[in-house]
Amino acid sequence: MKKELYPSVALFLGSALLVAVTLGGKTDPQGLSTLPLLTLLLMSEFGFFVTAIGAYAGARQCLQKITFRNLVSAVSNLVLAVLFAQLGLRLWATVI
């Protein structure tokens, strides 16, 4: 895979993981989530690392050549990384 494509791939993968974690974390009236908590935590952590690396790669590409695509990829990956971090911390708070 080309290094130039990584931020876009990370953005797509991160978006799909965010949808999966959000839908899988919904609870039923009994208080059980659709997916097990450990699975949600693992998906959230993986999504954080993928999007954080995507934000870093996108920022490096912006330093070399600023284009709209590079800038959007870097910022979007950064936002997704922050969302995954918040979601993971919120999931950990339900464990404690």
Tokens at 86, concatenated = 């918040």
Give the structural domain span for 90: 3-15+32-95
Q: What is the pLDDT of residue 96?
A: 66
| Count of structural domains within the chain | 1
The answer to whether the beta carbons of residues 31 and 24 sit under 8 Å apart is no
| Amino acid at site 68 | F
Query: Would you say residue 26 lies in a domain?
Result: no
**Digits of tens for pLDDT over the chain (96 positions)?**
777 889 999 999 999 999 999 999 888 888 778 889 899 999 999 999 999 999 999 999 999 998 999 999 999 999 999 999 999 999 888 776
Task: Indicate the pTM of the whole model.
Answer: 0.90
Q: What is the pLDDT of residue 71?
A: 93
Query: Would you say residue 41 lies in a domain?
Result: yes
What are the beta bridge partners of residue 27?
A: 33
What lies within 8 Å, CB to CB, of 48 at 6+ separation is 81, 84, 85, 88
